[in-house]
């Protein structure tokens, strides 16, 4: 009698497991479509601003960087924390970046999305090469988000999120 009861329990458990496995759906393939800008003119403007800003960054042109940063800048860095002082960001750049680090954009990584009555958000990937390391030292790809506000006909950086 006990053997029959154990058999029934075993059969019920196996049946329940089989039913639950058969109803479990495998996740569908993730669709990754190639990015195509909604607004090519806006995309080209932001790519040009990215180039202008980071050329100034790589050349340590703090005046140019300061002209592009908004007065109410917010800079979020996964390793450095949050900075909300434009002058503080420029001082930190001068101390930690100038002559030491070069930024390289990952080709084809920029995506730009319009924000109504504000400007645009730029997503992308880049690397930073420590110029004090050997040339063959690999650089890790980091992600970034830049909030661009259009004031009259000028673009200003209002927020930056930098993740390494």
| Confidence class for position 5, pLDDT limits 50, 70, 90 | low
Q: Is the pLDDT of residue 128 over 60?
A: yes
What are the residue boundaries of the structural domains of the chain, listed by start?
Answer: 40-163
pLDDT for residue 55: 98
Kindly report whether the global pTM for this prediction surpasses the value 0.75.
Answer: yes
Select 40-163's CATH number: 3.40.50.800, 3.40.250.10, 1.10.10.10, 3.10.450.50. Answer: 3.10.450.50
Q: Which residues pair with 114 in a beta bridge?
A: 120
State whether the Cα torsion 28-36-102-63 is positive or negative: negative
Residues 87, 93, 97: CA angle, nearest 5 degrees: 175
CA gap 28, 128 in Å, rounded? 35
Interval 134-147: pLDDT, tens: 888 888 999 999 99
Interval 15-52: pLDDT, tens: 444 444 444 455 555 656 799 999 999 999 999 999 99
**Cβ contacts of 34 within 8 Å, gap of 6 or more:** none
Nearest Cα to Cα of residue 122 among 51, 39, 50? 50
pLDDT for residue 147: 98
């Amino acid at each position: 009698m006990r053997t029959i009861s154990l058999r029934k329990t075993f059969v019920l458990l196996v049946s329940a497991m089989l039913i639950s496995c058969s109803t479990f759906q495998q996740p569908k393939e993730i669709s990754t479509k190639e990015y195509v800008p909604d607004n090519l003119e806006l995309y080209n403007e932001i790519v040009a601003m990215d180039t202008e800003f980071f050329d100034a960054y790589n050349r340590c042109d703090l005046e140019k960087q300061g002209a592009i940063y908004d007065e109410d800048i917010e800079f979020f860095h996964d390793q450095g924390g949050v900075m909300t002082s434009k002058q503080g960001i420029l001082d930190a750049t001068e101390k930690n970046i100038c002559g030491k680090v070069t930024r390289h954009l990952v080709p084809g990584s920029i995506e730009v999305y319009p924000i109504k009555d504000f400007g645009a958000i730029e997503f992308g990937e880049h690397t930073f090469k420590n110029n004090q390391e050997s040339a063959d030292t690999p650089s890790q790809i980091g992600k970034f988000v830049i909030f661009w506000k259009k004031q009259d006909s000028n673009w200003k950086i209002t927020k930056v999120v930098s993740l390494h």
